[in-house]
A and B are shown apart, each in its own frame.
Chain A
């Protein structure tokens, strides 16, 4: 079983839709849960960070972690064309190493 599995894309939604992006992980020692957004030909940029189970909200973005199920999600409300990018989940422990999911390409159509 891979350490981090991310729902494969691509995902295409109309503007204003609610988007749900998901990852599962296998190692219960993981402590940090992050979502990165990567625009075409750019580096990944940190979008959300959390280290506990529950929800964390930042504007239109909500990160959700369920440690008991080893499941993390990113919700985007009122999606915009500017949200079109690849979204990568990343999970880390105490050893400086982040393990990334394979990414989900999201396209928001105007």
Chain B
């Protein structure tokens, strides 16, 4: 039972192409995220959606566009890919409700994007 699943796991593509990464969670959470992890392992938030509404939009080029068709899915579309976009992209989810677990975030396995 995969809680947060994302596809594809590996993606190699040429500069200038447009690509999408899909994410689905079966945890019943109402909040989903995209994080980017660079080559130095630094994990940084890009976007977050709560019940399909964008709530966090960090300083990210507008070539990156998230879309949440429902609260169990959050996709990431990237236009005009650049060499610097090469990284691991992690989808994650959490519950916004209060409680002892706070906003504990659960991550997917990652999508390794290489732009050549």
Contacts and interface: CB of A to CB of B under 8 A. Distances in A.
Give the size category of B's interface with A.
20 to 34
B94 interface: yes
Shortest Cβ-Cβ A-B pairs, 7 listed: A43-B107, A32-B102, A100-B43, A103-B41, A43-B109, A44-B107, A43-B110
A32 B41 contact: no
Contact of B56 (A42, A49, A86, A97): A97
Contacts of B100: 51
A91 to B, nearest CB: 11
Contacts of B105: 46, 90, 98
B104 A46 contact: yes
B86 interface: no
A105 B40 CA distance: 11
6 contacts: A43-B110, A51-B102, A96-B56, A97-B48, A98-B105, A100-B42
Contacts of A38: 41
B90 interface: yes
Contacts, number: 60
A44 B43 CA distance: 10
A88 interface: yes
Contacts of A57: none
A92 B104 CA distance: 9
A34 B90 contact: no
Nearest to A93: B103
Nearest to B31: A96
Contacts of A96: 31, 33, 48, 50, 55-56, 94, 96, 103
B103 A100 contact: no
B15 interface: no
Nearest to B40: A102
Interface string B57-97: 00000000000000000000000000000000010001010
Q: Which residue, of A31, A44, A88, A95, has the highest number of chain B Cβ atoms within 10 A?
A: A44
